[in-house]
Amino acid sequence: MEMDTPAGRNALDAAARGWVGKPLDRVDGRPKVTGRAIYAYETMQGPATAYGYVVEASIGKGSIVSIDAQAAERAPGVVLVLTHLNAPAQGQGNHHEAHPVLTGPEVAYYGQPVAFVVAETFEEARAAAYLVRVRYDRAPGRYALRANLDRARAPRVASADSAVGDFDAGYAASPVRLDEIYTTPLQSHAMMEPHATLASWDGDQLTLHTSNQMLNQGRQAVARTLQVPVEKVRLVSPYIGGGFGAKLWVNADAILAAIAARQLSRPVKTALTRQQVFHVTTHRSDTIQRIRLGADQEGRLQAIGHDSYSGNLPSEPTFEAAAMQTRTLYAGANRLTRHRVAPLDIPVASSMRAPGEAVGLLALEIAMDELAEKLDLDPIELRLRNEPREDPERHVPYSSRHLVACLQEGSRRFGWAARSPRPGQVRDGRQLVGMGVAAATRGNPLELSRASVRLGPDGVATVRMAMTDIGTGTYTILTQIAADMLGLSPDHVRMEIGDTAFPQASGSGGSFGAASSGSALFDACDRLRAKLAAAAGVDPGAARFADGRLEAGGQSRALVDLVGASGVEADGEIRPGETLKAFSQQSYGAHFAEVGVDVDTGEVRLRRMLGVFTAGRILNAKTARSQAIGGMVFGIGAALEEGLTLDPRFGFYVNHDLAEYHVPVHADVPEIDAIFLPELDDAANPLKSKGIGELGICGAGAALANAIYNACGARIRDYPITLDKLLGALPTQS
């Protein structure tokens, strides 16, 4: 199936039991809480398994002069020490295409693997790793983004910049103008499960039990790196303990374990320590963003300009696309967005939850708040006055857009009318209290996915696809789709995912996982329905599936009687098509936050928070709300706490553990709420759903920043908003 035209009324709309949308409990919940859900590092391969430990480079830039592994090789239990001197040749490519390791003496960034020690136990491998002696020739490195803006260049993609109308003229002619700089810090994914892999070879066939979000893409990268046919590589990842983008790509753990396992002819298992994750894997780049807004006296935007700078290794194509949402969110005739990326000698920058929008909206939605103040206009009213009728850059209709409804419903529920427009006017004890608002938007992509479904003689439907579940509820929503389409109860659906031996799937990332994999499953089930209807001798369009039976033309047949002794199977597929070009597709929402700022210390406490969203058909009310709240908590961290501290002398992250890299804890998060307004988007996919996983973070932090300003009058444009930045801006107390 290709999405060339909007989906009409289909079998899911007419589903008899309506499992889709209900708050069904997680079908993978019981295995997880009872310990039967096996993650990558927990996979057992027998007593022959050896254990690896990564040795990281302790310089930021330079080369290895000598590496002495003799003491490590003589240490108890050690069976192999890999370095660039004995590692095999590997295929090359950027981080998206391949992940070669130990390929030469050059050190590109701090923490780059320079050796891999393999021993009979993890403890022996770790102890021996400290015996590897490496001498370096240090070279000058370029580490800090701000210090290297003069080297920033346009990314090597056509979509990096956009221009509509004449921004310079429109901005110059605007009677009300804003021109400000906003910055966001380096961030780490900080997911619960560190990267881990168990590698084993059976002849020339490699199997990796690994923590990876996009298995088919990972399979290609492993094959290219190891220079083996892709059909000789199998990735297995049925359960993943979070990713947020850190596991989109193959990392050093997988390649090192595979190389060592091949050389030793035995399974090799490795896991990165929490501290190693920060340097050995990816992160979100920091950004420096300039936003210029020009408006008439009524608050209608005449000019919108957004310039964003980020950094990455010179070999990498990824840039933080922080200005992308600015192209679609608000109306305005004259528009300019530009991205520049500076080559830096620090670990790879890559996708992190809601790449682009997560940090872009931190800037844009403060800028809108500042413009509203210049206009003496309510921030919600400013946004309403700039609601576009079509995509203002592509000039195509929106597939669905209900941002206005989100803002209005959120305003009503949150009590926005009680907000004081003047900062510093509301006090509760030692706290100055303020409210803030921000819009949310996130793109809605669709990716190629395939699925197979087999209805057996026992009445159980088995679904197979190389989809992953990173804790978002994939097992559950796919179960609900199959149950609705085939008229089964959820306990008669068996999900088998997370294995490249199954049909290709999109994987989890970019908020495309549910729509892509779910649409492929929809198509497979629709084809299976047609086969069952043919077996019953009825028109598929007239068939009704419910309670394990097919009903049509006055007859009712049990599905188990139609499938026979061997069962019936069907394959399905979804491909993006013309609807992506014909419509502008995004999810939307509005964040509302109330904060208290201590009048003496500047300590910020979130008091309450609400998110109101539209995301097409909601596939599971419970998991959708959980995803939205999780994103909002992510936004709290971005606003108040999160940030990697880079030592600009050595390219080293000082706070490379969860003791010093701060994320929200229970004390930081009061009871917050997220609601979804009814919506169907028939141009998005046959499910008529949109992505949710990243929408909750988009704009959330800006709502807090705006609330802080409303509380105390301190306008902080440098995230995170910490005490040191607030103290000097607090009003003097009498």
pLDDT in tens, 456-505: 999 999 999 999 999 999 999 999 999 999 999 999 999 999 999 999 99
100 vs 118: CA distance, rounded Å: 18
Per-residue pLDDT tens digits for 295-344: 999 999 999 999 999 999 999 999 999 999 999 999 999 999 999 999 99
Q: Is residue 145 part of a domain?
A: no
* Helix 700-712, helix 621-640: angle, nearest 10: 50
Catalytic residue among 569, 641, 642, 694: 694
566: how many CB neighbours lie within 10 A of its CB? 9
Q: Do 639 and 707 have their domain in common?
A: yes
pTM confidence score: 0.97
Dig out the tokens for 150 from the structure.
Answer: 């003069």
Q: Do 595 and 489 reside in the same domain of the chain?
A: no
Q: Are residues 382 and 257 in the same domain?
A: no
Query: 322 in a domain, yes or no?
Result: no
Q: pLDDT of 390-435, one tens digit each?
A: 999 999 999 999 999 999 999 999 999 999 999 999 999 999 999 9
Distances (CA, A) of 264 to 281, 561, 598: 25, 52, 60
User: Could you tell me where the DSSP H helices lie in 180-265?
Assistant: 215-226, 252-264
Distance CA 72, CA 78 (A): 7
Boundary-marking domain end, from 271, 306, 326: 271
Residue 666 DSSP code: G
Convert the pLDDT of each residue in 658-688 to its tens digit: 999 999 999 999 989 999 999 999 999 999 9
Domain that residue 587 falls in: 354-445+582-727
Regarding whether 456 and 428 lie in a shared domain, the answer is: no
Pairing of strands 555-558, 268-271: unpaired
Q: What pLDDT is stored for residue 731 in this prediction? A: 76
pLDDT value at position 14? 85
Alpha-carbon torsion (26, 29, 31, 32), positive or negative: positive
Proportion of the chain in helix, strand, coil states, percent, rounded to 5: 30, 25, 45
> Tokens at residue 112, please?
């780059």
Unique residue bearing structure tokens 């990796």: 208
Please report, for residues 3, 12, 17, 289, 441, the alpha-carbon distance to residue 21 in angstroms, rounded to integers and kept in the order given.
22, 11, 11, 39, 22
Domain C-terminal end among 243, 271, 299: 271
Please report whether residue 187 resides in a domain: no
Of the residues 576, 607, 624, which one is the last residue of a structural domain?
576
> Is the Cβ–Cβ distance between 618 and 676 less than 8 Å?
yes
Q: Is pLDDT at 13 greater than 60 in this prediction?
A: yes
* Tokens matching residue 367: 């800028």
The single residue listed with the structure tokens 């085939």 is 486
Is 365 one of the catalytic residues? no
Indicate the number of domains in the chain. 3
Question: 165: alpha, beta or left, given left = phi > 0 and alpha = psi -120 to 50?
Answer: left
Same domain, 204 and 232: yes
Q: Look at residue 385 and tell me whether its pLDDT is greater than 70.
A: yes
Is 2 within 8 Å of 516 (Cβ atoms)? no
Q: What CATH number is given to the structural domain containing 626? A: 3.30.365.10
Task: Give yes or no: residues 465 and 384 share one domain.
Answer: no
Question: Distance (Å, rounded) from C-alpha 595 to C-alpha 716?
Answer: 15
Q: What burial class does residue 554 get, using C-beta atoms within 10 Å of its C-beta: 0-12 exposed, 13-18 middle, 19+ buried? A: exposed
Whether residue 709 contacts residue 423, with contact meaning beta carbons closer than 8 Å, is answered with yes
> Can you count the helices (H) and strands (E) in the chain?
17, 30
Q: For position 17, what pLDDT does the model report?
A: 74
Q: Are residues 558 and 596 in the same domain?
A: no
Q: What pLDDT, on the 0 to 100 scale, is given for residue 715?
A: 97
Same domain, 21 and 44: no
Q: What residues contact 724, with CB distance under 8 A and at least 6 apart?
A: none
Same domain, 568 and 473: yes
SS3 21: strand
